[in-house]
Structure 1
Amino acid sequence: MSPLDHASPVNSTLDEALADAHARYSAARPKSAEIHTRAREHLPGGNTRSVLFYTPFPTAMARGEGARLWDVDGREYTDLLGEYTAGLFGHSEKRILDAVKMALDNGINLASVGVAEGQLAAILCGRFPSLDMVRFTNSGTEANMMALAGARGFTGLSDVMVARGGYHGGVMTFGSEKNAVNVPLPLHFMDYNDAEGAAASIRALKGRLGAVLVEPMLGSGGCIPASRAFLAALREACTETGALLIFDEVMTSRHSEGGLQKLHGITPDLTTLGKYVAGGMSFGAFGGRADIMGVFDGHKPGTLPHAGTFNNNVWSMAAGNVAMGEIFKGEAVTALHARGEKLRAALNAACAGLPMQFTGIGSMMCVHFRSGDIIRPYKAEPSEEKLRELFFFDMLEAGFYLARRGMAALSLPVTDEDCERFASAVTEFVALRRPLF
């Protein structure tokens, strides 16, 4: 019997179905509810990472192994979220764990350089077309901030262009043009996948625009791929005007050994990378052309500072060398990409003819409850948001852990069988919930 057999009757309204899903969710997770109640006494909202918050309360996980999670109430899930792409290697990759343990046995917080950071830098520069030189940070957010600092320092121009709906870290969230948490950069906005309009805006800002920062596929914006024509137009306009093109590949670099820049054959001036590169540890990286990265070269007078106590921490450096030097290369990269492409095709076949679709590339995908081509972020209708929420809770009940916003990011331990079971669960969701669309 399917877990979804216990869902509300098919003739219920969308609001009734969602209320029923909330009730069943809450009844099955009393320990998670208790944890949330206690946490609210000292944490605003009961948590300390906004993307993990949802009502009535978030599920609290107790442990993970491979591509499996177990919550504090004893329920088991197939983890299809993959820590929003950072958990590429799953929860217990022994080679990474061994490397981290060995590094920790030799001491932490050494306040010095080590051999591992140079080794990891060489691996990354050998893989990504844009990387002549690279430096490390503690997160993708920091990587994007430092890439912008480097671009502005190199060009002497302060203004930055980003895409509406783009996300480049906790202090660069562009779902709207005004956000109190964003750093106060002089910003200009373009519409994603509007090649002609974006190029015209870049050219109009010649002499002011120091950088264009873009994801070659929107991640938190809904796994919406950039067209090659759009990226090529940005490349051409930046070359003409002297603005530096920065690809935020914190999420998308997993799609080939050299990221989406290699797949598209379009090389940015700078690239940023994120946590999966260090096996899921606290990590970020930014790099690019040698002349640009020279603004951080301490051998030269007047260079830019780049601080960060844990930039080269021993566990991230050790894990990164194993993750990128031994595990995630060659066949492992192509197999993961192919598995994701196959799964997304199966999911879209399951919801064909309905206002429901999965966008993405390779091992990253996101569900949308609307028809037609989705080429840029949009404001969802209330009914779309309710269907997305119902999908999330139904998938939890079926034993699959996704992002509340409907995003999935496959990890290496996810199997073909896991993907087939998920496609079956989506098929059941479509059959059960079809009257609510």
Structure 2
Amino acid sequence: MSPLDAPARNSDLDAALAEARERYTAQRPRSAAIHARAREVMPGGNTRTVLFYTPFPTAMARGEGCRLWDVDGHEYLDLCGEYTAGLFGHSDERILAAVREALARGVNLAAVGENEGRLAGLIVGRFPSIELVRFTNSGTEANIMALAAARAFTGRRTVMVMRGGYHGGVLTFPVGGSSAVSLPVPLVFADYNDAEGAARAIREAGESLAAVLVEPMLGSGGCIPARPEFLAALRGATRETGALLVFDEVMTSRHGPGGLQQRTGVIPDMTTLGKYIAGGMSFGAFGGRADVMSVFDGHRPGSLPHAGTFNNNVLSMAAGCVAMGEIFRAEAAEALFARGEALRERLNAACARAGTAMHFTGVGSMTQPHFRRGPVTQPYAETPAEAGLRELFFLDMLEARVYIARRGMTALSLPVTEADCDRYVAAVEEFVAARRPLLPEA
């Protein structure tokens, strides 16, 4: 009998959550012990907030392909995909070989190398908006440096962001609140997918506005795609006022050979990248128009500095050349996009058959469930019931041995097969059938 079959577990959300947490805890004594020891020396017991959840996070021991094994011996289908950074899975031999070869030649050389130019060439040749590019250690750093470039180039200070947007740990803008760790940059806010309102706000900011920073699909904000008219309105209004349009494609650049900008046809002035580009190594990049990026040209007097000990580290450069030059070519990007589109259609069809309003949003290989009627076009503050259902979904997927992000997001990696997608659809079908009394009506 399925662990979800007992009727008592499905009659009350609080009771269902309590039992799911109890099962989770009972199955993971070693993870619990690891967490307890970590709490003695780390606040909260970890060093990456997105990986924290109660009662304690599952500790993983190893990964291979799109499979993970935790310290208590459970095997999972990994659909979290390291929050899109794990595009190539955990053990692609071509990437491992490139890293081993780089290690054999020395780790920290404090010098330029041939691979950074090679990787830059691959990126410039791929993304329509990028004429020149520089590297960072993360997507967060890439967004910080892109804003620095925009402010220096325009001579302006203010930046427009979207409510619900996320551009890194120090550039996060939750709906209905604020983040104390965000950088103290003068900000103007707009609502995602509100074309008229955003364009009006850009015009009102006028000559004070340096840049508009936006994800062409919200990632952490719920895998909500931008409407074409919204992106077009941002493009038009920024051209009118002289502000730079910056696409954060740290997550969404996987959705086509040239990212979502190529797929939508809306070309920004600058683009930020990260996550998978270096084959899963630490990496970020920002690039764009040559005149904008030339503010960093060291051959020019008064150029902007851009430090970073590991910006061109040999591991990321070597892995990136293989990842982007040999593996994630145009045909691989299109095939992954198509697989993800088909999967999301199947998930929504399963929810519709069950008569529930649970709805999956996303683009291509990224998707996220929402426990409300679709379409979902803007980020929102969850109700307590929605938050509870999201946790229950996460715990039930772990019970089915499917590893997803705590918020429910999935990001397919290249090793994921059609059979793996079938497995996830079956797990969701079981969830909506067993938890039907707790889910919202269609």
Structure 2-normalised TM-score?
0.97
Can you list the C-alpha shifts for 1:57-111, whole angstroms capped at 9, x where unaligned? Answer: 0000000000000000000000000000000000000000000110110001100
Distance in 1, Cα, partners of 2:335 & 2:275: 21
Question: Match of 2:125?
Answer: 126
Distance in 2, Cα, partners of 1:355 & 1:109: 53
Question: Match of 2:357?
Answer: 355
Question: Match of 1:417?
Answer: 419
Deviates more, 1:204-213 or 1:10-19: 10-19
Amino acid at match of 2:384: P
Amino acid at match of 1:425: A
SS for the counterpart of 2:435 is helix
Question: Match of 1:86?
Answer: 85
Question: Match of 1:268?
Answer: 268
Question: Match of 1:26?
Answer: 25
Within a 5 Å distance, the mapping from 1:145-224 to structure 2 comes to 145-176=144-175, 178-224=178-224
- Cα shift at 1:3: 5.2
Q: CA 1:72 to 1:30, structure 2 compared with 1: closer, same or farther past 3 Å? A: same
- Cα shift at 1:206: 1.0
- Cα shift at 1:373: 1.9
Amino acid at match of 1:426: V
Distance in 2, Cα, partners of 1:3 & 1:134: 51
Question: Match of 1:382?
Answer: 384
- Cα shift at 1:372: 3.1
Structure 2 unaligned segments of length 5 or more: list them. Answer: none
Distance in 2, Cα, partners of 1:381 & 1:179: 20
- Please tell me whether the aligned partners of residues 224 and 374 of structure 1 are also in contact (alpha carbons under 8 angstroms): yes
Distance in 2, Cα, partners of 1:209 & 1:8: 57
Structure 1-normalised TM-score?
0.98
- Cα shift at 1:398: 0.3
- Cα shift at 1:10: 5.2
- Cα shift at 1:331: 1.8
Amino acid at match of 1:18: L
Amino acid at match of 1:324: M
Can you list the C-alpha shifts for 1:187-207, whole angstroms capped at 9, x where unaligned? Answer: 010000000000010011111
- Please tell me whether the aligned partners of residues 9 and 19 of structure 2 are also in contact (alpha carbons under 8 angstroms): no
- Please tell me whether the aligned partners of residues 8 and 20 of structure 1 are also in contact (alpha carbons under 8 angstroms): no
Deviates more, 1:77-86 or 1:324-333: 324-333
- Please tell me whether the aligned partners of residues 80 and 408 of structure 1 are also in contact (alpha carbons under 8 angstroms): yes
Can you list the C-alpha shifts for 1:384-431, whole angstroms capped at 9, x where unaligned? Answer: 111111000000000100011010000000110000011011001111
Amino acid at match of 1:163: M
Distance in 2, Cα, partners of 1:88 & 1:239: 34
- Please tell me whether the aligned partners of residues 10 and 434 of structure 2 are also in contact (alpha carbons under 8 angstroms): no
SS for the counterpart of 1:207 is helix
The sequence identity of aligned pairs, in percent, is: 71
- Cα shift at 1:180: 1.0
Question: Match of 2:134?
Answer: 135
- Cα shift at 1:9: 3.2
The answer to whether structure 1 residue 338 and structure 2 residue 338 are counterparts is yes
Can you list the C-alpha shifts for 1:110-145, whole angstroms capped at 9, x where unaligned? Answer: 000000000000000000000000000000000000
The answer to whether structure 1 residue 287 and structure 2 residue 287 are counterparts is yes
Runs of 4+ in 1 over 4 A off after TM superposition: none
Distance in 2, Cα, partners of 1:201 & 1:294: 29
Amino acid at match of 1:243: A
SS for the counterpart of 1:246 is strand
- Cα shift at 1:259: 0.2
Distance in 1, Cα, partners of 2:10 & 2:256: 45
- Please tell me whether the aligned partners of residues 8 and 17 of structure 1 are also in contact (alpha carbons under 8 angstroms): no
Amino acid at match of 2:232: A
Distance in 2, Cα, partners of 1:178 & 1:19: 30
Distance in 1, Cα, partners of 2:434 & 2:195: 40
Structure 1 unaligned segments of length 5 or more: list them. Answer: none
- Cα shift at 1:354: 1.2
Distance in 1, Cα, partners of 2:435 & 2:284: 41
Question: Match of 1:144?
Answer: 143
Question: Match of 2:40?
Answer: 41
Distance in 2, Cα, partners of 1:372 & 1:327: 35
SS for the counterpart of 2:125 is helix
- Please tell me whether the aligned partners of residues 2 and 398 of structure 1 are also in contact (alpha carbons under 8 angstroms): no
Distance in 2, Cα, partners of 1:330 & 1:166: 28
Distance in 1, Cα, partners of 2:71 & 2:194: 46
SS for the counterpart of 1:413 is coil
The answer to whether structure 1 residue 397 and structure 2 residue 399 are counterparts is yes
- Cα shift at 1:179: 1.7
Amino acid at match of 1:34: A
Q: CA 1:117 to 1:8, structure 2 compared with 1: closer, same or farther past 3 Å? A: farther
